Amino acid sequence: MYINFWYPVARSQDLGRTPLKVRILAHDLVAFRDQAGHAAVLSDTCAHRGASLSAGKCKEDGTVQCPYHGWRFDARGVCTRIPSIGSKTRPPPRARVDAYPVEERYGIVFAFLGDLPEASRPPIMAVNERNAYIASQDIRVMNTVQPRLTPPSRTKELMMPADKCILQYRDKLDEFRRQGWKLDMPAVQAARARGDTIFAIPCPARRVTRAWVLDEAPRLAPASSETSAVLQVAG
C-alpha cells in the first residue's frame, strides 16, 4: 500500500452532516461535510485521548466534535475549541489531527492520502465508460484468482510480451517505493494487534510543522529496484 495518491473515500451522495468512518490503507479516517456542503477528510483519532471522531457530531461551525470530551476539529484538522479551557483560551498547536486534501469528481469524494505539496500531487485519473467496464471485469475475476498476491520475486512467474504493461506498472511501484511512499504494513498491523499505537497517514501540513500527537505511519526504507521478470516469447 502506498501513500501520496488520491483514494476514493465515499460516494458523494452518502456523505452528509453525520461523520462517516472509513478505513483506507489500514488507517481509520473520518469524512464529513460542513454546513456549506464542503467535504472534509481527517484522521479519525482525536489528538486528546484518542477517541474516534467519527463517533462524534458535525457542529454548526463546520467542525466535527469528539464524542469524549468535546474537542472540535475543523476541515484543516485544527482544534478550534476545547470545552475544559473555556472559549477565551486558544487550544495549543499540537491540538490538531491530519487533514487530507479533498476533491469530488464522478460522484465520488476523493482524498489525497499523503504529504506531497499541491504542485507535486498527481491528478485524479480521468475515468471513461470503457475503463470502468474493464475494471469491473477485472475485479470479478480477481476476486477468485489464486494466489491473490503478486509473488515476492519476479522470477516466480513467466511473462509474455503482451504482459509488458504489467512490468511497467511494477516498475512504477518500485519507483514509488524508492520515494519512500510504501507503507510498512507488517509494522502497522503489529501495532494494531498490540493495541498500543495508532498511526496517522502523514498529511501535507506535516511538512510545515512538527507539532503532532500521532506518529506517522511507518514506511519501508527506499530500496533499489527488484530484478525484472523473465520476458519470454511463447513457442
Residues that bind ligand FES (CB under 6 A): 46, 48-49, 51, 66, 68-71
* Structural contact between residues 66 and 48, judged by C-beta atoms closer than 8 angstroms: yes
Any long-range contacts for 176-180 (C-beta under 8 Å, 24+ apart)?
176/2, 176/4, 177/2, 177/220, 177/222, 177/223, 178/222, 178/223, 178/224, 178/225, 179/4, 179/222, 180/219, 180/220, 180/221, 180/222
Q: How far is the CB of 206 from ligand FES (least distance, A)?
A: 20
Which of 7, 71 has the CB closer to ligand FES? 71
Q: How far is the CB of 44 from ligand FES (least distance, A)?
A: 11
Which of 55, 173 has the CB closer to ligand FES? 55
* Structural contact between residues 142 and 135, judged by C-beta atoms closer than 8 angstroms: no
Contacts of 169 (CB under 8 A, 6+ apart): none
Q: How far is the CB of 66 from ligand FES (least distance, A)?
A: 3
Which of 68, 176 has the CB closer to ligand FES? 68
Cross-strand bridge partners of residue 10: 109
Q: How far is the CB of 49 from ligand FES (least distance, A)?
A: 4
The amino acid sitting at 212 is W
Distance CA 213, CA 43 (A): 12
Which of 70, 101 has the CB closer to ligand FES? 70
Q: How far is the CB of 62 from ligand FES (least distance, A)?
A: 18
Which of 46, 201 has the CB closer to ligand FES? 46
